[in-house]
Amino acid sequence: MTNKKIRVNFRKKLFPLEWPELKKLMDLALSKGGEFSDIFLEYRISRSVLMEEDIIKESSENLTRGLGLRVIKKDRTGYAYTNDLSDEKLKQVAANAAAIANSSRSFCSSKQFKTLRPERDVSLVKGFPTSRPLKDKLDLVEKTYRAAQNFDPAIKKIQVAYTESKQQIWLVNSEGLSVLEDRPMVKIVAMVVAEKKGRKEAGFSGGGGRVGLDYFSNNLTPEKIGREAAWEAIQLLEAAEAPAGEFTVVLGPGHSGVLIHEAVGHLLEADFVRKKTSILWDKLGKKVGSEQITIYDDPTISGLRGSYNFDDEGTPPQPTLLIEKGQVRGFLQDLLSAQLMKCRPTGHGRRQDFTNWPLPRMSNTYLEPGEYQPEEIIRSVKKGLYVSRLSGGQVEDSGKFTFSASSGYLIENGKLGRPIKQATLIGTNLDILQKVEMVGSDLEFDWQTGTCSKEGQEVPISDGCPTMKISKMTLGGIK
């Protein structure tokens, strides 16, 4: 009971709106014949600290507060938003969104609200990072910085950024659903430049998630982040140009999840499926990849960056099987796509903030571990490439995708050879998925610093992957 009381108070404090007002607003929104309406209220505080050139140089604090209102009629969406919560503005917002339906009368009215509560909290926090004193955060930043600085005399430049946020949302819809959620997030990122004999290279590292500051003492220390970034830069100083052409590629665990994200995840987002623009739209139940591949997207994994208790439409999320032994088994659904495709929503409707309507998105996407030992996989390659770290990627609906190998090694006769410089890999998903020959037993998740961008909206995500071997892929090095 106490818990309930606190929640109601927080809601009142952040959003000066009562249920009857929201109901009235939704009825106005549905007055032109809309079939469904929801209101997304958001209050977000984010803070950051930046250290470079040996000093704490900047700190910032950002507040986001606003309301977004959506009206759906069939496959059409009307959307309006405001950060002015005055009565007059809200009525205007409802009228603007209502205009998507152009009938003169209302067919639906909103139902009485019932508040849904999460069964457990996916965030691993004892106290919110945003409630801790600034000094603790300055300390983390400084420790990261010094660890990178002391790693090697060739380190010439270090930048460490700490960011934290707390997003509080209140979602209500015309079916009578009301959902409240507090979402914490924290991240430390280090960027380092090393210079030796006129040659310069950059290294990166980072970590975080939906966790508290204790994560940086118990799981990932700031010293480790600083050292890893410095190590990468130093190592690249000795790296050779990456070769160009087709090679057998072994992807290391963790970051290689980017490949799963780009080559599979995006193309199973239900909006691309129902619009038939995804190359996978008609592949449900069909085999598109090797037996080795089983892929899930799971928003319920504790502490991960892509996790949430409810999606941004108030749906409790489910671990969603996307690919089983190479066969397409499911799609990532939001409410609109699920309704149009006559499927159950999977809880993947997400939005960047109140100025955007939700879209089907990934959360934490991962490839299930296989049976091979990582060493065994490397040993099986006569001549090829080992990618130890992948950074960003991109995909088209046609299935063509790329990702960048930010550090790697040549493989010669089953052994790791000389480190190579950064290079891009390109492939077509239907082709590459067939070419996954071995999947390792060493599933890892990435650093928990990733963001996915779709139609201009950015949301936090994470990817996971064991070591895997692709028989042939094009590498964009220098000839």
Partner 1 sequence: MKPKDDTNNLRNLAEKIVHYGKKQGAEEIEVTLYDGLEFNVDVRRGKIENLVEAGSRYCSLRVFKDKKAASASSSDLRLPVLQTLVRNAIRRAELTQPDEYAGLPVSATFKVNENSLRLYDPEISRMKPKEKIKLARAAEKVALQDKRITNSFGASFLTNEIKSLLVNSNGFAGEYRQTYCSLSLDLQAGSGDQLVEDYWFSAKRHLKDLASPEEVGKKAVERTVRQLHPRKIRTQNVPVVFEPTMTSWLLAFLFACVSGTAVYQKTTFLEGKLGQTIGNRLVTVIDDGLLPGKLGSRPFDSEGVPTQRTVVVEKGLLQNYLCNTYAARKLKLVPTGNGNGHSVVPNNFFIEPGTTAPEEIVSSTQKGLLLTKIIGHGLNPVTGDISCGAFGLWLEDGEIAYPVSEITIAGNLGRILKSIELVGNDLQFESSICGPTIKVAEMTVAGM
- Considering only residues 66 to 125 of the shown chain, the ones binding partner 1 according to CB under 8 A are 66, 75-84, 93, 96-97, 99-100
Provide, rounded to whole angstroms, the least separation between the CB of residue 71 and partner 1: 9
Tell the burial category of 350 from Cβ atoms under 10 Å away from its Cβ (0-12, 13-18, 19+): buried
52 near partner 1, rule: CB under 8 A: yes
For CA atoms 469, 471, 477, 479, give the dihedral sign.
Answer: positive
Number of helices (H), then strands (E), belonging to the chain: the values are 11, 24
35 near partner 1, rule: CB under 8 A: no
| Binding segment (CB under 8 A) for partner 1, from list 173-181, 199-207, 302-310, 361-369 | 199-207
| Nearer CB in complex with partner 1: 131/277 | 277
| Nearer CB in complex with partner 1: 51/180 | 51
| Nearer CB in complex with partner 1: 164/298 | 164
What distances in angstroms separate CA 78 from CA 108, 121, 191, 305, 396, one per listed residue? 16, 32, 42, 30, 27
H helix intervals, 342-416:
374-379
Near partner 1 by CB under 8 A: residue from 5, 114, 126, 135: 135
Near partner 1 by CB under 8 A: residue from 9, 62, 150, 451: 62
Token pair of 380, please?
């099986």
| Binding segment (CB under 8 A) for partner 1, from list 18-26, 54-62, 321-329, 340-348 | 54-62
| Nearer CB in complex with partner 1: 116/202 | 202
Provide, rounded to whole angstroms, the least separation between the CB of residue 224 and partner 1: 23
Near partner 1 by CB under 8 A: residue from 276, 286, 383, 418: 276
**Looking at this protein, which amino acid is placed at residue 92?**
Q
| Nearer CB in complex with partner 1: 110/422 | 422
Contacts (CB under 8 A) with partner 1, residues 229-268: 242, 244-246
Near partner 1 by CB under 8 A: residue from 202, 341, 343, 416: 202
Close Cβ partners of 146 (under 8 Å, ≥ 6 residues apart): 226
Check if the beta carbon of residue 360 is closer than 8 Å to that of residue 269: yes
Residue 298 phi/psi, 5-degree rounding, is -135, 105
Provide, rounded to whole angstroms, the least separation between the CB of residue 201 and partner 1: 6
Contacts (CB under 8 A) with partner 1, residues 440-469: none
Q: How far is CA 60 from the centre of its chain?
A: 23
| Nearer CB in complex with partner 1: 219/434 | 434
| Nearer CB in complex with partner 1: 64/221 | 64
| Nearer CB in complex with partner 1: 144/300 | 144
| Nearer CB in complex with partner 1: 66/440 | 66
Provide, rounded to whole angstroms, the least separation between the CB of residue 370 and partner 1: 26
| Nearer CB in complex with partner 1: 200/287 | 200
Near partner 1 by CB under 8 A: residue from 423, 439, 443, 452: 423
Query: Among residues 61, 59, 52, 101, which one has the least CA distance to residue 78?
Result: 101
Strand-pairing partners, residue 132, are none
Tell the burial category of 152 from Cβ atoms under 10 Å away from its Cβ (0-12, 13-18, 19+): middle
**Residue listed under structure tokens 């100025």:** 355
Residue 467 phi/psi, 5-degree rounding, is -60, 140
Close Cβ partners of 6 (under 8 Å, ≥ 6 residues apart): none
Can you say whether residue 407 is alpha, beta or left, with left for phi > 0 and alpha for psi between -120 and 50 degrees? beta
Close Cβ partners of 179 (under 8 Å, ≥ 6 residues apart): 115, 116, 169, 170, 171, 172, 310, 314
**Residue listed under structure tokens 């003492």:** 217
**Residue listed under structure tokens 């309507």:** 357
Query: Among residues 155, 131, 154, which one has the least CA distance to residue 145?
Result: 155
Q: Helix, strand, or coil here: 177?
A: strand
Provide, rounded to whole angstroms, the least separation between the CB of residue 21 and partner 1: 18
Contacts (CB under 8 A) with partner 1, residues 277-336: 277, 279
Q: What is the 3-state secondary structure (H, E, C) of 178-206?
A: EEEEEEEEEEEEEEEEEEECCEEEEEEEE
197 near partner 1, rule: CB under 8 A: no
Contacts with partner 1: how many residues (CB under 8 A)?
A: 79
Near partner 1 by CB under 8 A: residue from 38, 164, 181, 201: 201
| Binding segment (CB under 8 A) for partner 1, from list 22-30, 58-66, 124-132, 205-213 | 58-66
Contacts (CB under 8 A) with partner 1, residues 381-400: 391-400
Provide, rounded to whole angstroms, the least separation between the CB of residue 426 and partner 1: 4
Provide, rounded to whole angstroms, the least separation between the CB of residue 423 and partner 1: 5
380 near partner 1, rule: CB under 8 A: no
Near partner 1 by CB under 8 A: residue from 7, 65, 329, 454: 65
Strand-pairing partners, residue 295, are 323, 367
Residue span 401-420 as binding mask against partner 1, x where in contact by CB under 8 A, dash where not: xxxx----------------
Check if the beta carbon of residue 427 is closer than 8 Å to that of residue 473: yes
Provide, rounded to whole angstroms, the least separation between the CB of residue 285 and partner 1: 17
